[in-house]
Structure 1
Amino acid sequence: MKVVCVGGGTGLSNLLRGLKREVGNRIKELSAIVTVADSGGSTGRIRKAYQIPAPGDIRNCLVALSETEEILQKLFQYRFKGEELEGHSFGNLFLVALTDITGSFLSAINLASQILRTKGEIIPATTESVHLWAEFSDGKVVEGEENITEYGKSSKAKIARIWIEPEDAKPPIDAIAKLQSADLIIFGPGSLYTSIVPNLLIKDIKSAVETSPALKVFVVNAMTQPGETDGYTAYDHIKGFLTATGISKIDIAIVNTKMPSDNLLRRYIEQGQEPVIPDVAKIAREGITVCAEDLVGENEDFIRHDPERLKDVILRAVSHAFSHI
């Protein structure tokens, strides 16, 4: 089975961490199409200085798919301290250096993949320097991934429309080829409007997804995200994705039903985040197959999907779907 994951942020890298264990077994080929619209932190500073696509999510995916020694993985995620390099990660700077040496962002990613011995291919959604824009329900127009989330938090307005500039940004040819030959395309988990949707705002990627014969799976977030999905149920996440991207349908929705511990939940609620309500019947009425299970890990620091459980649920749902085709 050929699998393509589409997204960004910690959600995508977490998903890849689970799926890579099946490469060579149930998964013949694993690829990730990764957003490069990030504008915050080390990534944002690098974009301004070097005019290259955002490397941060690419770096996280490289580490997630890596089969190399733990020290190299830690090295790629290492953040410098001190005035000039404060907050920059080694992996981001490494990708900048490789891009400068090879003259190509794609070549830099491929070389880094070889060094880290990744069990899958990582492809940026575009090699152009794209910027995310959003119009909110109060009419305000905001530029930049980080600014969009911050404005949503402070204003409590909802994202009404989202787009990228330049609007005609092109994806690498490999991204289109992977989507067209895929048996399974997985969206999420991750920041809905700033990690998942931006990939589909690239017109050729959206067209390739629409025409691909692959089964389309959407992994719903376990928690709402302040400034983006406040008050969203599982159904709202799917509806928001389809509306923002123009994608006509998904086949399977993966929904978490597990409530986190009281202590952890209290901490998240203080930050304005709540568990996503699993309104399964509402999703099913749209003709979408729903797999609702306990998917959150036992980590007491963060509420995240457990990579192993998520992988097992996705592959079980897909196997069942293929057997009924």
Structure 2
Amino acid sequence: MKAVAIGGGTGLSTLLKGLKREVGETIDELSAIVTVADSGGSTGRLRKIYNIPAPGDIRNCIVALSESEDIMQSLFQYRFRGDGLGGHAFGNLFLTALTDITGSFLEAVKLTSQILRTKGNIIPSTIEDVHLVARFSDGTVVEGEEEITEYGKKGVAKIEEIWIEPESAKAPIEAIAAIEKANIILFGPGSLYTSIIPNLLIKDIRKAVNRSPALKVLIVNAMTQPGETDEFTAYDHMKTFLKFTGLKGIDAVIVNTKMPSGDILKRYLEQGQEPVTPDIAKIAREGVKVFAEDLIGDKDNFVRHDPDRLTDLIVKIVRNEVFSEL
């Protein structure tokens, strides 16, 4: 089976950590199509200097799929301290340097993937220097992934429209080829407006996904995100995803049903985040299959999907929904 995961941020890298164990087993070929519209931190600073796509999410996904030694993974995630290089991740600088040397961001990603021996293909959703732009309900237009989220946190308006500039940005041929071959396409988890949706704002990718007969699955976040999905239920995530991406539809939704422990939940509530309500029946009435299980981990002090639990469920879905059609 050929699987494609589309997204960005920590959500996609968490998913890939689980999926890589199935490469060579359930999965014959794994590809990750990753957003490059990030505008914050080390990534944002490098973009302004070198006019390149954002390397941060790409770096995280390469490390997540890496089969290299732990020291190499730690090296690529290392952040410098002090003035000058302070805050920069080594992996971001490495990708930037390789892009400058080879003249190609895509080639830099391929070479870095070879060095870290990834169990899958990492493909930027575009190799152009794109920026995310949103119009809010109060008429304010905000440019930049980080800036959009920060304006949303003010609570004065909701996102009404979102697009990328330039709107004519093209996807790499490798991304389209991976989608065309896929048996299953996974969206998320991750920041809905700034990590998942931006990939589908690239027309080539949206058209390829709409043409694809693959099983299309949305993985809903476990917690709401301040400034983006405040008070969103699982159904709200699905409807918003379809509305802003322009996709014709999806086949299934994965929803977490496990509540965080008391202390962790309290901390998240104080930060303006709450568990996403699994309104399963409402989704099912739209003709979309729902797979609901306890999917968050117990080990971390954060609420995030457990890579192994999520992968186990995806494998089950594949065997029931994909292999039966092959």
TM-score by length of 2: 0.98
Which residue in the other structure is 1:299 paired with?
299
Which residue in the other structure is 1:79 paired with?
79
User: Deviation per CA, 1:175-232, whole angstroms, max 9, x where unpaired?
Assistant: 0011011001000000000000000000010000000111001000000000000000
Inter-CA distance 324–28: structure 2 relative to 1 (3 Å threshold): closer
Is 1:122 equivalent to 2:153 in the alignment?
no
Which residue in the other structure is 1:249 paired with?
249
Is 1:174 equivalent to 2:171 in the alignment?
no
Give the deviation of 1:323 after TM superposition: 5.5
* Rounded Cα–Cα distance in structure 1 between residues aligned with 2:303 and 2:180: 33
Q: Which amino acid aligns with 2:289?
A: T
* Rounded Cα–Cα distance in structure 1 between residues aligned with 2:123 and 2:67: 18
What are the within-5 Å matches in structure 2 for residues 165-204 of structure 1?
165-204=165-204
Which residue in the other structure is 2:161 paired with?
161
User: Deviation per CA, 1:273-292, whole angstroms, max 9, x where unpaired?
Assistant: 00000000000001111000
Q: Which amino acid aligns with 1:52?
A: I
What are the within-5 Å matches in structure 2 for residues 1-325 of structure 1?
1-322=1-322, 325=325
**4+ residue runs of structure 1 moved beyond 3 angstroms?**
none
Q: How large is the Cα RMSD of the aligned pairs?
A: 0.8
Give the deviation of 1:260 after TM superposition: 0.4
Give the deviation of 1:138 after TM superposition: 1.6
Contact 2:234 2:276 in 1 (8 A): yes
SS of alignment partner, residue 155 of structure 1: coil
* Rounded Cα–Cα distance in structure 1 between residues aligned with 2:3 and 2:233: 27
Inter-CA distance 215–88: structure 2 relative to 1 (3 Å threshold): same
Inter-CA distance 324–2: structure 2 relative to 1 (3 Å threshold): closer
Q: Which amino acid aligns with 2:251?
A: D
Q: Which amino acid aligns with 1:134?
A: A
Q: Which amino acid aligns with 2:26?
A: R
Q: Which amino acid aligns with 2:136?
A: F
Contact 2:163 2:198 in 1 (8 A): yes
Contact 1:156 1:227 in 2 (8 A): no
* Rounded Cα–Cα distance in structure 1 between residues aligned with 2:322 and 2:71: 40
Contact 1:109 1:122 in 2 (8 A): yes
Give the deviation of 1:157 after TM superposition: 1.7
* Rounded Cα–Cα distance in structure 2 between residues aligned with 1:315 and 1:246: 27
Give the deviation of 1:324 after TM superposition: 5.5
Between the aligned residues of both structures, percent identity stands at 70
* Rounded Cα–Cα distance in structure 2 between residues aligned with 1:168 and 1:185: 24
* Rounded Cα–Cα distance in structure 1 between residues aligned with 2:32 and 2:288: 24
User: Deviation per CA, 1:249-272, whole angstroms, max 9, x where unpaired?
Assistant: 111100000000110011111111
SS of alignment partner, residue 154 of structure 2: helix
TM-score by length of 1: 0.99
More divergent stretch after superposition (12-21 vs 295-304): 295-304
Give the deviation of 1:38 after TM superposition: 0.3
Structure 1 gap ranges (5+): none
User: Deviation per CA, 1:7-65, whole angstroms, max 9, x where unpaired?
Assistant: 00000000000000000011000000000000000000000011000000000000000
Give the deviation of 1:248 after TM superposition: 1.0
Contact 2:183 2:322 in 1 (8 A): no
Contact 1:135 1:161 in 2 (8 A): yes
Q: Which amino acid aligns with 1:227?
A: G
SS of alignment partner, residue 25 of structure 1: coil
SS of alignment partner, residue 118 of structure 2: coil
Q: Which amino acid aligns with 2:288?
A: I
